[in-house]
Amino acid sequence: MIERILNLRIVKLGFFLMEDFEKTDFSGICTQMSFYLLLAFFPLLLFLISFIGNFIKPFETYLYEILKVFLPDLSYDYVTTLLDTMTSQIANSNFSLILISFFFSTLAARAVMIGINQTYGRKETRNLLQIWLFSFLFTILFALAILVIAAAYIFSADLGAVILKQIGLYTYYYPVLSLFAVVFSWLVSTFIFNMIYVMAPAHRLKFKDALPGALFATIGLNIAFRIFTLFINHSSKYTALYGSLGGLFALMVAIYFICVILNLGGKINLYWSLYKTKEFSFKL
């Protein structure tokens, strides 16, 4: 019976993670990534608002709705207030805002590339120019993916209203639209994470080999953020402890969660590739 349990793939994954965490500085990698992601967080949002906002006017409202779902109220108020202040002060320099925010938002892509590479235990073989070029590419692809999600959401809102009204199911309009938005965004986010796991490391994986980690990252982020948001929103002690800085500290914790889940997805892909080649073993 014990031997059967130890042969379960999920149990082997647990032993692999414990063994791997001892060899690599997992928490250090996540901390380093979260630092750069925090620096790039607001420039990335500004880039999305200024760039995608040129194509889809209500995008800023849609983006705020996403932030409302995934961020605690403290962090949401902090982030949106700061974004409103920044966008109002530089409203007349839209092109320069796009360039500056794009450059600084690439720090996030660069941090993810370096972190995932360390998670896979691979040596960096690309030069600095190649790393920056990939960072630019990832940032553009991410912006385009958000653009597709926003366009699909808005298009389905208009088209869905017409279709459901014609067939007499207009009362189910909002539930159907919400379901479509969730499913579509999950598919797109899984694809984005898959591309990150495939292209970020110096030695690329096959597309199907990165799928387990991409699915874990998509599901894990959605579950973790909802639990974290629920906890912070119902915790009066957190507000009393940090006061007006509570929103910033909650945002820092949220970004750290992103890095942990992203790197765990990389570990799962690493285990999956070793398991397929029979290179993985553990000792009790």
**Mind listing the pLDDT tens digit of every residue in the chain (284 residues)?**
444 544 566 667 776 777 777 677 788 888 888 888 888 888 888 888 887 777 777 778 878 887 887 888 888 888 888 888 877 766 555 677 777 788 888 888 888 887 888 777 767 677 777 778 878 887 887 777 777 766 666 655 555 555 656 666 555 555 666 666 677 778 878 888 888 888 777 666 777 888 888 899 989 888 888 888 888 888 777 666 766 677 888 888 888 988 899 888 888 887 877 666 655 544 43
Whole-number pLDDT of residue 160: 57
List, in sequence order, every beta strand (DSSP E) within the chain: none
Whole-number pLDDT of residue 2: 47
Whole-number pLDDT of residue 12: 72
Query: What is the DSSP code string of the chain?
Result: -HHHHHTSHHHHHHHHHHHHHHHS-HHHHHHHHHHHHHHHHHHHHHHHHHHHTTT-TTHHHHHHHHHHHHS-HHHHHHHHHHHHHHHHHTTT-HHHHHHHHHHHHHHHHHHHHHHHHHHTT----S-HHHHHHHHHHHHHHHHHHHHHHHHHHHHHHHHHHHHHHHTT-GGGHHHHHHHHHHHHHHHHHHHHHHHHHHHSSSSPPPTGGGHHHHHHHHHHHHHHHHHHHHHHHT-HHHHHHHGGGHHHHHHHHHHHHHHHHHHHHHHHHHHHHHHHTT------
Whole-number pLDDT of residue 190: 86
Q: Counting every residue, how long is the chain? A: 284
Whole-number pLDDT of residue 150: 66
> Whose structure tokens read 């690599």?
24
Residue 17 dihedral angles phi and psi, to the nearest 5°: -65, -45
Whole-number pLDDT of residue 283: 44
- What is the token pair recorded at 34? 């979260």
pTM: 0.77
User: What ranges do the domains of the chain cover?
Assistant: 28-276
Whole-number pLDDT of residue 98: 75
How far apart, in Å, are the Cα atoms of 166 and each of 248, 255, 279? Answer: 47, 44, 58
How far apart, in Å, are the Cα atoms of 178 and each of 40, 172, 182, 218, 260? Answer: 29, 10, 6, 17, 28
Helix axes 246-276, 73-89, angle to 10 degrees: 100
Whole-number pLDDT of residue 272: 77
Q: What is the rounded distance in angstroms from the CA atom of residue 68 to the CA atom of residue 226?
A: 11
